[in-house]
Amino acid sequence: MSVVETAPSGASPADAVASLAVEDLHVAFGGNRVLIGVDLNFTPGFNGLIGPNGAGKTTVFNVVSGYVRSSEGAVQLHGEDVLHMSRTQRVKAGIGRTFQAPRLILDATVMENTLLGRHHLFRWGHFAELLLLPQQRREETEARQICMDMLDRFGLADVAHEEAGALSLGSQKLVEVARALVANPTVVLLDEPAAGLGADDVTVLLRGLREIQAERNLCVIIIEHDLQLVTSLCPKISVLHFGEIISEGSPEHVTSDPAVIEAYLGHGFEAEDGGEIHEVEGPLSEHHHIDHVEEESSLEEVWTDDDAPEQEESS
């Protein structure tokens, strides 16, 4: 298991029950060990997961959501093991996620893409749809209203009936966040949600996330290279480096940890109370920049017959 310096008691949310627990997780692609005995506990609220490119952050998300099979370890959602579940089953259990590059159907409308997040909640299937049963029509009307309300929270109501491919990258990422949230998850995995967004879109994103998290008491886990965003949003941050957790705790603790500064932040940096960060000598290490590469060169995916994986591109 990981040996990690943690923040003193009280520096991060205490005594909270973990919504998502990752225990002694190991993943390897060929001879490349990507995760090595990773232990993580995520509680309701905002949780940050940071680290240099290739540290294994996205691999953690891929294991939790069923895109990658671990060689050892456990993943528990509210105390229930999920590693035996298909991706669809994990969505039904309460795990939602987004991706670094949005996975939308580009020739479908924004509304149609968002509705996909509700499909596992529908009581009436395609047969009822073909028969135009009143129950099915009511269910779809209700689902469309839920999706429209969510799109409105993220400033997308006006483009609900436009094709997703016509939107900017930033707007596409907001659509994917909306789609994940209409699925009624209890745990949401956001993989670099602010990367590529302009300042106005980031404001819309954070406002919507804060509102929904407070309303639903969600566990939100964010991978992000924008350190200012993470330290201002997340009371607890975990740091991955070469597949191992090297630090955990409050923004102040993590950003002043010598191991984190050496591995990720670079020197000429300090954090103030409340998580504000600024340069004190020179530019920060290049590791914290938004520009990045995909972490995995290949994925070993978990699926069932009704849950076939999409082909991943190597990078």
For the stretch 254-309, pLDDT in tens is 999 999 999 888 755 555 555 455 554 433 333 333 333 334 334 444 433 445 43
Contact of 68 with 299, CB cutoff 8 Å: yes
pLDDT tens profile 19-75: 999 999 999 998 899 999 999 999 999 999 999 999 999 999 999 999 999 999 999
Contact of 239 with 260, CB cutoff 8 Å: yes
- Report residue 3's pLDDT band, with 50, 70 and 90 as the boundaries: very low
- 11: pLDDT strictly greater than 80: no
- Report residue 18's pLDDT band, with 50, 70 and 90 as the boundaries: confident
Res 2: pLDDT: 42
Mean pLDDT of the chain, nearest integer: 82
Residue 302 CA to residue 62 CA, distance in Å, equals: 10
- Lowest-pLDDT choice from 148-157, 172-181, 257-266, 295-304: 295-304
Res 268: pLDDT: 52
Transcribe 153-194 into DSSP letters.
Answer: HTT-GGGTTSBGGGS-HHHHHHHHHHHHHHT--SEEEEESTT
Domains of the chain: 16-94+185-265 (3.40.50.300), 103-184 (3.40.50.300)
Residue 25 CA to residue 125 CA, distance in Å, equals: 37
pLDDT tens profile 107-118: 999 999 999 999
Res 148: pLDDT: 98
Res 181: pLDDT: 98
pLDDT tens profile 117-128: 998 877 655 555
- 224: pLDDT strictly greater than 70: yes
Q: Which residues contact 131 (CB under 8 A, 6 or more apart)?
A: none
How many C-beta neighbours within 10 Å does residue 291 have? 8
- The whole-model pTM stands at 0.80
- 238: pLDDT strictly greater than 60: yes
Res 273: pLDDT: 54
- Lowest-pLDDT choice from 142-146, 169-173, 267-271: 267-271
pLDDT tens profile 61-115: 999 999 999 999 999 999 999 999 999 999 999 999 999 999 999 999 999 999 9
**The token pair that represents 30 in the structure block:** 């060929």
Contact of 219 with 187, CB cutoff 8 Å: yes
Res 277: pLDDT: 54
Res 270: pLDDT: 56
Res 304: pLDDT: 39
Q: What is the mean pLDDT of residues 210-229?
A: 96
**The token pair that represents 283 in the structure block:** 């530019």
Contact of 281 with 268, CB cutoff 8 Å: yes
Count Cα neighbours of 180 within 13 Å in the Cβ-side half-sphere: 30
